[in-house]
Amino acid sequence: MDIVFIFEWLDASWLAELSKSSAGVFAMVQTVHIASMVMLGGMVMLGDLRMMNVLLPNVPSATIINGTRKWIWLALLFIILSGLYEASAIAMKLAHNSFFFAKMAGLGMGMAFILTIRSAVYSRAPAVVEGEGVNNNIQLDEVVQPWVVKLVAVTSLLIWFSVASAGRWIGFS
Amino acid sequence: MLNELLFKFASWLDTFQSSTDLHESLYMYAWVESTHVLTLMLFLGMLLVIDLRLLGVAFTDVAASKIVERLDKPMMIGFVVMVISGMLLFYAIPVRSTQSIWFRIKVVLLIGAGINAFLIRNMTRSTDMAWDNDPKPPKRIRVGAGLSLALWTGVIAVGRSMAYDWWDCHKEMPYFMYWAAGCVNEMAAYE
């Protein structure tokens, strides 16, 4: 399916007019994009490394995962808004940029992964991961194996690393 | 005087073939720059978690000392990689970087952030951590954490601005800007 018309529409929009009009504002929006990326990366890494028992193993994992949740979504909100602004300035370039499409695919995959698999598996973490004596109300037969939790954590890290790498590479292509 | 010295040092670095090779390489420079930016996520990501806890807005049910101590190691790993990759980026483009107003502001902000981090570290490692489990740390700690976030946001902003040539030496600028950016030759031409 040809989706170039979306980029053409974006390129002709008032947002593109605005983003192309001031390099200073564009640089500030880029700063917001990077700062949000830092927030997303920090919170995702904290959660995933906790589930791998690498960071803060003595703190119940639910405390960490619940604590990171709102920051992850806040960061994603800012990433998407600032990213849209940035994309509008170079819409026609992005229409034919493989790294941009890789980044969008990774972003979609990452968000879907957080909402489904990551969330489902982390909430069923065994006591060896979750922390002794704090395993919540889940049934024993719902508890997943520790290696599954670690696999999900590694997958999550890989997805977000790929998104950030693809994003960086847009600038070089 | 200092501007001349810095310019001479940068020009000397620029004479190395490896500096030119790195700058002109098809992929290596991009890899180094990507590493620099991606390591931000590790270093600043961990620092953000620490600062948010010290501000009393995140992970308030976890002892502050636990967050500070346990995240210190990954944060420092990120910092070391960031410094090495940053030095390589400087080595690849020494003259333009030395004469970049943004780079100079970045160095000042980095020094400020370093001093602030040293002070926070002292305050959070002292034996007097009666507030350790308090959701909201004392005001001096919160001010330090807020300052840390502001300084590092500034570092990101000026780091990003280095890519633009708004205040490069070849541009028409007031004398003060030539001086601030260290445009030695342009200053000489002005006089």
- The tens digit of pLDDT for each residue in A43-98 reads 999 999 999 999 999 999 999 999 999 999 999 999 999 999 999 999 999 999 99
Which residue of A33, A45, A162 is the best one to mutate when testing the B interface, meaning the one whose CB has the most B CBs within 10 A?
Answer: A45
Task: Count CB neighbours of B61 within 10 A.
Answer: 11
Domain ranges, residue A138: 4-170
List CB contacts of B3: < 8 A, sequence separation 6 or more. Answer: B179, B182, B184, B187
What type of residue sits at position B190? Y
Domain total in chain B: 1
Q: What would the pLDDT profile of B158-177 be if each residue is shown by its tens digit?
A: 999 999 989 899 998 999 99
What is the structure's pLDDT at B134?
94
Q: Considering CB atoms only, which of B38, B44, B153 is closest to A165?
A: B38
What is the structure's pLDDT at A139?
67
- Which residues does chain A have within 8 Å of residue B72's beta carbon, measured at their own beta carbons? none
Distance CA A82, CA A86 (A): 6
Which two tokens mark A44? 């995702």
Cα B113 to Cα B121, B145, B187: the distances in Å are: 12, 10, 31
Q: How many CB pairs under 8 A join A and B?
A: 89
Distance CA A15, CA A25 (A): 12
Which two tokens mark B9? 């040092």
Q: Considering CB atoms only, which of B46, B66, B156 is closest to A42?
A: B46
Domain total in chain A: 1
Distance CA A160, CA A68 (A): 15
B142 φ, ψ (degrees, to nearest 5): -65, -40
Q: Inspect the interface and report whether the beta carbons of A55 and B34 lie closer than 8 Å.
A: no
What is the structure's pLDDT at A137?
61
Q: Inspect the interface and report whether the beta carbons of B59 and A172 lie closer than 8 Å.
A: no
Q: What would the pLDDT profile of B92-137 be if each residue is shown by its tens digit?
A: 999 999 999 999 999 999 999 999 999 998 888 766 778 999 999 9
Q: Considering CB atoms only, which of B33, B47, B62 is closest to A63?
A: B62
- Which residues does chain B have within 8 Å of residue A169's beta carbon, measured at their own beta carbons? 30, 34
Q: What would the pLDDT profile of A97-123 be if each residue is shown by its tens digit?
A: 999 999 999 999 999 999 999 999 999
Which two tokens mark A27? 């640089």
Q: Inspect the interface and report whether the beta carbons of A38 and B48 lie closer than 8 Å.
A: yes
- Which residues does chain A have within 8 Å of residue B66's beta carbon, measured at their own beta carbons? 56, 58-59
Distance CA B45, CA B66 (A): 17
Nearest residue on chain A to B162, alpha-carbon basis: A27
CA dihedral A90→A93→A94→A96, nearest 10 degrees, is 170
List CB contacts of A107: < 8 A, sequence separation 6 or more. Answer: A79, A163
Task: Count CB neighbours of B121 within 10 A.
Answer: 13
